[in-house]
Amino acid sequence: MNNLDTQKLRMMIESASAHLRNNRKLIDDLNVFPVPDGDTGTNMSLTFSGATEMTLSEDFDHAGRLLSKLASAALRNARGNSGVILSQILRGFAKAVENKEVLGLPELKDAFVGAKTTAYRAVMKPTEGTILTVIRESAEFAEANFESFTDITEFFCAVVDAGNASLDRTPELLPALKKAGVVDAGGKGLMTIFEGMLIALESGTAVEVADTSFKAPSAAKTTKTDADIKFLYCTEFIINKPADRKAGPFQAAITDKGDCMLVIEDEDIVKVHIHTNHPGFVIEQALKLGELTNLKIDNMKYQHEENTLDDLDSPANAEEAKPEIATPTKKYGFAAVSAGEGLTEIFRELGADEIVEGGQTMNPSTQDLLSAVEKIPAEIVYILPNNKNIILAADQVDALTDKKVIVIPTVNIPQGISAMTAFDEGMSPEENAETMKEFADSVDCGQVTFAARDTNLDGVEIKLGDCLAVCGKDIAAVTATPEESVEALAEKMVNDESSVISLYYGEDTTEESANAISAKLEEKYPDLDVSVIYGGQPVYFYIISVE
C-alpha cells in the first residue's frame, strides 16, 4: 500500500476510537496514586470518540480536510489535560498535511513531526516520561526512517513499535511511574489510538466497540442559577415593517421588561429576541410597528428542568447544540466548575453565573466550558476550573469565543471559593485576576478519599478501601477511618500563621460525623476558627482547607 485516502483514514479513525473506548478502563487504572480519580482513559476516549462522531458524520474526499475536521472537533470535545494534549497532537498532525488529498510516506512522516511540534508548543513546561515523550520519539523515528520503507502499513507498524518502546521507557524518566509500577497513562492512550489505526490498516476492517453503553457523564452539564431564570419567557419574532418606520420607540418601550435583549433593524424587518416575564406586552408594542412572523415563546424554567433530567447522549452533541450566545448586559461574569450540591450552592451565593458540573472522574470538556461562557451575559468571563486536570481545557475557551475569558488556575474547590471572595468590581480585569490568584494560592487544601487498589507506595502498604489523606501531590497518611485522615491532614497543614480551618463534608459522610471531628479540631487548635460546611461532593469524604 502506497498511500492513505479518505476511505482508509475514516476506517482508521473509527477503529482507533473503538479500540480506545474498549481499553479506557485499563488506561484509567494506570494511576500513580491508588485514589479513585484515574480518568485519563475516559477523558481521552470521550475526546476522541466525540471528535470521531462529528467528523465521520460528514463526507470528505480530501485527507487534509478530513483530518482538520477531526482536530477541530477534538479541541471542542477535549476533556482533562490528556484530552487537550491529544487535541493538540491531532492539530499538529492535520496542519502538516492540510493541503494533501492523500497521504503517502513523506506526508505521514510530516504529520507525525507536526504532531510532535504542536504538542510541545502547547505545554508551557513539558515533562518527559509522558505522552509528549511518546509522540516525540515516535516522530523522531518516523523522520529518521521513512525513506527505508515502501509500504505505508509496514511504516506505520514500525512507528507504533517505536512508540510502544518509548512508552515502556517512561518509568525510567518519571520516578513516580517507576514507584507505582506503571507506564504513563496518556502515552498508553496515544498508543492505543495508533494501535487501533494499525489494526484497521492490517486487517482492512475497523475494531468494533465492545461497550456500547459508554457515553459522556451527565454530570458534565451546565447548571443555571436562580438568577438566570429571573425572566421566564424566551421571546423571539420578526417584525415586517414599512421602510419609513423605525424600531427606536419599540426598543425603548420594552427595554425594562427583560434582559438578553436583541433588536436588529433592517430596512423592512426587525429581528427581536428578549427574555421577559411579559411576552404579551412585548408583542403588543411590536404590533404597533408592523406584522409579526416566526413568533416563538419558550418557558426557560420548563426547558431547564427538562434538560436537567436528560442524559447527555453523546459528546458530539456539544457542537450540534450551538447554545445561544447571551448579549452582554454587564461587564463581569463567572463560570465555576463544581461537583456536589453544597459546593455548588456556595459558588452560586458568591455570584457564579454558570456552574459546570464536574471534577475528579468527570472532567468537563472545552465545549462544556465554552457553552457556559456563551450563556453568561457579560463582556468578561472568569473561569474557575477548581481542578488541575481542567485548567488546560479552560485555557482553550478564549480562542473560541468573542468574549474576553480569563482563567484563574484554581486546582481545588477551596481555592476557587477563596478566589471568588477576592473579586472587586472596582479593579481592572487584570488586577482582579492577579488578586484572585494570590488569594487562591494562600489556601492549603487536603482531601480524604479511599484507596482504589492494593499497592505499595514509598514503602507504605496500602490496601483496597483504606482511607487516604491526600495533601497536594503527597499521601500524608493511610488510616482506618476518614476522621483519622482529617486529623492527620490538619496536623500537617496547620502552622503558626493559620487562622481558619474549613471542613467540607461529602455525600458519603454524615453531618454528625463532621461535627464530631470538628469538635476534636477545635479542642486541639483552640486559637483557630473551625467551620463545618456541607459540600456534598463525590469521591472525597472530606475536603479540608487551612488559611
Over residues 15-69, the pLDDT tens digits come to: 999 999 999 989 988 876 666 555 788 889 999 999 999 999 999 999 999 999 9
In angstroms, rounded to a whole number, what is the distance separating the alpha carbons of residues 385 and 276? 31
Taking the CB of residue 290, how many other CB atoms lie within 10 A of it? 18
* pLDDT over threshold 50, residue 293: yes
pLDDT at residue 153, as a whole number:
96
3-state secondary structure of 37: coil
Q: Which residue has the higher pLDDT, 181 or 91?
A: 91
3-state secondary structure of 343: helix
Residue type present at position 139: A
Q: Of how many residues is the chain composed?
A: 547
H or E segment to which residue 46 belongs: helix 40-56
| Angle, helix 105-122 to helix 80-95, in steps of 10 degrees | 140
| 8 A C-beta contact, residue 189 and residue 40 | yes
pLDDT at residue 361, as a whole number:
66
Mean pLDDT over the full length of the chain: 86
**How confident is the model over 65-81, as pLDDT tens digits?**
999 999 989 988 888 88
Count Cβ atoms within 10 A of the Cβ of residue 302 and give its class: 0-12 exposed, 13-18 middle, 19 or more buried: exposed
Average the pLDDT over 124-141 and give the result: 92
Question: Beta strand 378-384 with 330-338: parallel, antiparallel or unpaired?
Answer: parallel
In angstroms, rounded to a whole number, what is the distance separating the alpha carbons of residues 114 and 103? 14
* pLDDT over threshold 90, residue 229: no
The separation between the first and the last C-alpha atoms of the chain, rounded to the nearest angstrom, is 63
- Would you state the cell numbers that stand for residue 490, as one nine-digit string? 490538619
pLDDT at residue 272, as a whole number:
75
pLDDT at residue 320, as a whole number:
43
Half-sphere exposure of 307 (CA within 13 A, CB side): 13
Handedness of CA 219, 465, 386, 436 (dihedral sign): positive
H or E segment to which residue 517 belongs: helix 511-524
In angstroms, rounded to a whole number, what is the distance separating the alpha carbons of residues 269 and 290? 9
H or E segment to which residue 455 belongs: strand 455-457
pLDDT band at 440, cuts 50/70/90?
very high
Rg (CA), the chain: 26
pLDDT at residue 227, as a whole number:
42
pLDDT at residue 208, as a whole number:
93
pLDDT at residue 260, as a whole number:
60
In Å, the largest CA–CA distance within the chain is 84
* pLDDT over threshold 60, residue 510: yes
pLDDT at residue 148, as a whole number:
96
Task: Report which of 134, 154, 231 is spatially closest to residue 198, judged by C-alpha positions.
Answer: 154
* pLDDT over threshold 50, residue 225: no
Residue type present at position 515: N
| 8 A C-beta contact, residue 421 and residue 398 | no
Residue type present at position 89: I
What's CA 293's distance to the chain center, in Å? 39
Count Cβ atoms within 10 A of the Cβ of residue 471 and give its class: 0-12 exposed, 13-18 middle, 19 or more buried: middle
pLDDT band at 118, cuts 50/70/90?
very high
Count Cβ atoms within 10 A of the Cβ of residue 499 and give its class: 0-12 exposed, 13-18 middle, 19 or more buried: exposed
Residue type present at position 35: V
In angstroms, rounded to a whole number, what is the distance separating the alpha carbons of residues 260 and 234? 9
**How confident is the model over 421-436, as pLDDT tens digits?**
999 988 999 999 999 9
Please name the residue that has the C-alpha cell 476557587. Answer: 416
**How confident is the model over 370-394, as pLDDT tens digits?**
999 999 999 999 999 999 889 989 9
In angstroms, rounded to a whole number, what is the distance separating the alpha carbons of residues 545 and 305? 34
Question: Beta strand 378-384 with 354-357: parallel, antiparallel or unpaired?
Answer: unpaired
Average the pLDDT over 510-517 and give the result: 93
Instruction: Calculate ∠ Cα 486-540-367, nearest 5°.
Output: 140
* pLDDT over threshold 80, residue 184: yes
3-state secondary structure of 367: helix
* pLDDT over threshold 60, residue 212: no
Q: Which residue has the higher pLDDT, 80 or 315?
A: 80
Average the pLDDT over 289-294 and give the result: 83
pLDDT at residue 417, as a whole number:
93
Please name the residue that has the C-alpha cell 455570584. Answer: 351
**How confident is the model over 466-493, as pLDDT tens digits?**
899 988 878 889 999 999 999 999 999 9
Task: Report which of 372, 375, 407 is spatially closest to residue 390, judged by C-alpha positions.
Answer: 407
* pLDDT over threshold 70, residue 108: yes
Residue type present at position 352: A
pLDDT at residue 310, as a whole number:
43
| 8 A C-beta contact, residue 224 and residue 36 | no
Task: Report which of 372, 291, 303 is spatially closest to residue 336, judged by C-alpha positions.
Answer: 372
In angstroms, rounded to a whole number, what is the distance separating the alpha carbons of residues 178 and 398? 37
Stated pTM of the model? 0.68
In angstroms, rounded to a whole number, what is the distance separating the alpha carbons of residues 393 and 390? 5
58-62, 297-301, 316-320, 397-401: segment of lowest average pLDDT: 316-320
pLDDT at residue 316, as a whole number:
42
